[in-house]
Structure 1
Amino acid sequence: MKIFSILILLLIPILVPSQTLKGVVLDSITNKTLPYASLALKDKNSGVYSNEDGTYSFNISKASAKDTLVISLIGYHNKKIAVTHILDRTEEDLNFQMLPKFETLDEVLIHNTSKTYRNNKIKLSSGNRKLIFPFSVPFGYETATLIENPKHKNGKLVKLHLKFKDSSKDIYDTYQTYYRIAFYNIDSLGFPGDLLHFENIIIKPEIHEKNYIIDLEDKGIPFTKKGIFIGIETVKPDSVKLKSSMYVTTPSILHTHTKHRLKYARFRSNDWVKHSRKSVHKDKLYAVPFIKIEMVYEKEKTK
């Protein structure tokens, strides 16, 4: 009987005592504060963002002693810390220093500036602009949508166009959101792979905004032979205070329908999951963010 009781106790996860982590996320080289860095528990839908001034507050009372805290930000190496190590700390605030990816960034910039491109711009999109509808995504979730390359030639992005639902006349409660934009390669399994650009791009559309265009001409973002994944992460602004676990983010990105599963999703730094659920509007199609891009192809080298 005693052995059985011990086994039961071992199977019960050890919960962390009521505790809220507070501190600042910093660049380890410049010591500058880093806004909108992600702090999350690995493999769980629990996390926060650092504020505009780099400060954060994260209640981890529901975490298990076996959990891992992951701090991540585009352009920086992820930092992973066991929750048990955090419990041993004695200081009042817990600051995190992030190491920038200098070497990778330099290699990308040198590689891209040595290329020449055609003048004619090619316009591509994720689906049909005549079949668009609003879709609210909770804070902390990122979707990556594949834009395929029809000519299978290398190029670069020059413009990104997103469309939003005008929410200025909504009669129900909504919460304004920011969005983080990222660009990913396609890995050997067809999933979003390595980052193609290391700048932390945060956009802040107004609730009445319908169109948002980002000029990428000077960013040197490669458009690979297979295509590119465009990631859109829903980031909670400092001023937003949620009243419930059920809420609507605004302005909502307009979605469209596709015949193929072109969308992947994840919560913060967790693994990507391929979107397999059919649209609630079209039972034979898949819903993906409606994304338009402009790109140019590389000039062929003359012998």
Structure 2
Amino acid sequence: MKASVFLLILFFTTAFSVAQNSRITGRVIDRATNKALPYAHIMFQDYRLGTSTDEQGMFAFNVADSLKSDVLIFTHVGYEPELLKISDLEKQRLVPMNALTEGLGEVMITPVRHNRSFTYRPDWRFEAVGIGNMNAALYPSTIARYYPKPDKFEAAAFLKEITVYFYATEEQKGLNPKFRIHLYNVDENGLPGKDITQDIVVTKPIGKNKVDVELIDKKIQIPEEGFYIGLEHIFIAENEYFEVKDYYINNELVAEDYRNKRYGPVYKGVFAPEESNFQVYFFEPGGWVDIRTWDITYNNREGKYVMPEFKIKITD
């Protein structure tokens, strides 16, 4: 994101916070069971601002009285989105959500045989990059990368294990943040579609630069058209850290030692050239956006774009 865009966001959120005079709290639950829904997302319908529920489904945020009539959108994997006015939320506090009656993305399940195997390996020949909160930590978001079903599997292929890599920074030392892995099918436009598995929330080990996520027990069958792996940040207190840096516009210092709240983890990826089978998308409140449309390249990286890297083990 350009520095000027960042500063517009900074000024907007600063003005927004100055006008705060009400604290909104509540809890998101499953309508049928009354059980808490941890790590659900809450977004303003008309603003790119949002947060997440904690492990007990609780949430809290400050809002200006002038926005009391605005609508919030509540989302969670496997549930129908719920829309609610802030003024109504002040009265009821509980936000029940309905499980999807059609289920997650449907795939045909067949027995796992383990006769064949294939591994997608990370390509570290390109320059490494940390993938953090690319939206200035204004709302929870997801970055997703496409992988085709390997040609060697004429019949069923299953995800056995995914390794997620992390980019170490001084600010994150001692942090073991939670994050969500999405596995999407491919929609009619070639974009990430429906989740093809239940909720996958993972905790990054302290001091480790990767985590292996075993998936074979979930029996996730890869669709014929391939799949997307998505990495989502969760905006909860235990994921918070602060980044201090200077900001420039046209080589002029406009903000010195500015302290930004961020949410871990920072994933590890590469600056990859466009010709390297590039299909990476970033989720904004309005939908999926090709990451190549973001002006996040700089210096000598023209024609290169941020791409998350994984190791993916597949079996039949």
TM-score range, shorter chain: 0.7 to 0.9
Deviation at 1:250, TM superposition (A): 4.2
Q: Give the alignment's Cα RMSD to 1 decimal.
A: 3.1
Deviation at 1:118, TM superposition (A): 4.7
* AA aligned opposite 2:190: G
The 3-state SS of whatever aligns with 2:229 is: strand
1:166 to 158, 165, 168: 168
Task: Kindly indicate whether the alpha-carbon contact (under 8 Å) linking 1:166 and 1:207 is maintained by their aligned counterparts in 2.
Answer: no
- 1:290-301 equivalences under 5 Å are 290-297=309-316
Q: Cα gap change, 1:173/1:156 in structure 2, threshold over 3 Å: closer, same or farther? A: closer
Q: Cα gap change, 1:79/1:218 in structure 2, threshold over 3 Å: closer, same or farther? A: same
Structure 2 residue 90 is the aligned partner of structure 1 residue 79: no
Structure 2 residue 132 is the aligned partner of structure 1 residue 137: yes
2:287 to 271, 275, 292: 271
Q: Give, in whole Å, the separation in 1 of the partners of 2:129 and 2:240.
A: 23
TM-score by length of structure 2 reads 0.74
Tell me which residue corresponds to 1:259: 274
Of stretches 59-68 and 258-267 in structure 1, the one that deviates more from structure 2 is 59-68
TM-score by length of structure 1 reads 0.77
Task: Kindly indicate whether the alpha-carbon contact (under 8 Å) linking 1:178 and 1:236 is maintained by their aligned counterparts in 2.
Answer: no
Q: Cα gap change, 1:134/1:43 in structure 2, threshold over 3 Å: closer, same or farther? A: farther
Structure 2 residue 125 is the aligned partner of structure 1 residue 122: no
Structure 2 residue 260 is the aligned partner of structure 1 residue 246: yes
Tell me which residue corresponds to 2:13: none
Task: Kindly indicate whether the alpha-carbon contact (under 8 Å) linking 2:179 and 2:265 is maintained by their aligned counterparts in 1.
Answer: no
Q: Give, in whole Å, the separation in 1 of the partners of 2:193 and 2:171.
A: 40
Tell me which residue corresponds to 2:190: 190
Deviation at 1:227, TM superposition (A): 1.5
The 3-state SS of whatever aligns with 1:222 is: coil
Q: Give, in whole Å, the separation in 1 of the partners of 2:49 and 2:29.
A: 21
Q: Give, in whole Å, the separation in 2 of the partners of 1:203 and 1:250.
A: 12
The 3-state SS of whatever aligns with 1:221 is: coil
Task: Kindly indicate whether the alpha-carbon contact (under 8 Å) linking 2:240 and 2:261 is maintained by their aligned counterparts in 1.
Answer: no
The 3-state SS of whatever aligns with 1:29 is: coil
Structure 2 residue 284 is the aligned partner of structure 1 residue 284: no
- 1:100-115 equivalences under 5 Å are 100-101=99-100, 103-104=102-103, 108=106, 111-112=108-109, 114-115=110-111
The 3-state SS of whatever aligns with 1:231 is: strand
Deviation at 1:294, TM superposition (A): 1.1
The 3-state SS of whatever aligns with 1:59 is: strand
| Gap runs ≥5 in structure 1 | 1-15, 298-303
Task: Kindly indicate whether the alpha-carbon contact (under 8 Å) linking 2:172 and 2:241 is maintained by their aligned counterparts in 1.
Answer: no
Q: Cα gap change, 1:134/1:208 in structure 2, threshold over 3 Å: closer, same or farther? A: farther
Please identify which structure carries the higher strand content: 2
Deviation at 1:134, TM superposition (A): 3.4
Q: Give, in whole Å, the separation in 2 of the partners of 1:63 and 1:275.
A: 34
- Structure with max Cα Rg: 1
**Number of residues of Structure 1 aligned to a counterpart in Structure 2:** 270
Of stretches 70-79 and 144-153 in structure 1, the one that deviates more from structure 2 is 144-153
The 3-state SS of whatever aligns with 2:103 is: helix
Task: Kindly indicate whether the alpha-carbon contact (under 8 Å) linking 1:206 and 1:251 is maintained by their aligned counterparts in 2.
Answer: no
